[in-house]
Chains A and B, each alone.
Chain A
Amino acid sequence: MTASIIKNIFTAPATRRYPFVPRGYYKNTRGSVSIAVKDCIFCGMCQRKCPSAAITVDRAQKKWKISRHRCIACGYCVEICPKKCLSMDNRYAAPAVKKEEEVYGDA
């Protein structure tokens, strides 16, 4: 028993001191989807193929909307985008208090 106490006083804690020590993400982590909207041609393939219907593409107004709460970060849209303007960022989307859609569009 004394051996355990002495060992625990002098060794480092087993857990990470989050939030002071941030968690590192791996290169391959599927965090959130991001778009380079200048290259987007608004074809709507990502909207058709998304398994959870998170993406809405508005061709007339040239706007690309994503609902972060519905996105499951599977990466299917990234694979089939013909212009390769979608990419998978390795940081997770920030927490939000309201279910809103993020809108990206040409000026």
Chain B
Amino acid sequence: MKEEQVFLTVGGEEDLFSRVRGMKEEGWRLAQVGATKTETAFEVNYSFDKDYRFHNIKIILPLQGAELKSISGIYWSAFLYENEISDLFGIAIKGIAVDYQGKFYRTSVKHPFGENK
């Protein structure tokens, strides 16, 4: 890909929210929200796209008791991604616009990507 990809890591939730709001005002489109589990932490990536430019904001959360506020108030379409993250990883996300409460993916193992797996 010949495009330029920008990776940015933010410190806390307030910083994340102000940046996401800024993205919405400048007219960026939410491309995806994804989570990764490393040995020491959870990382959640918020990816935005505008005019073929790609911007990625990452927030690091602790492995135990991770909590996040939903961005579906700003970008409504984020509710699908956040339900998937809370079902697969066990990260508690509060205030999702349409909340399936753990029944989005009905897997036989709860939180297959979460801690202790």
A touching B, CB within 8 angstroms: no
List residues of A whose CB falls within 8 A of some B CB. Answer: none
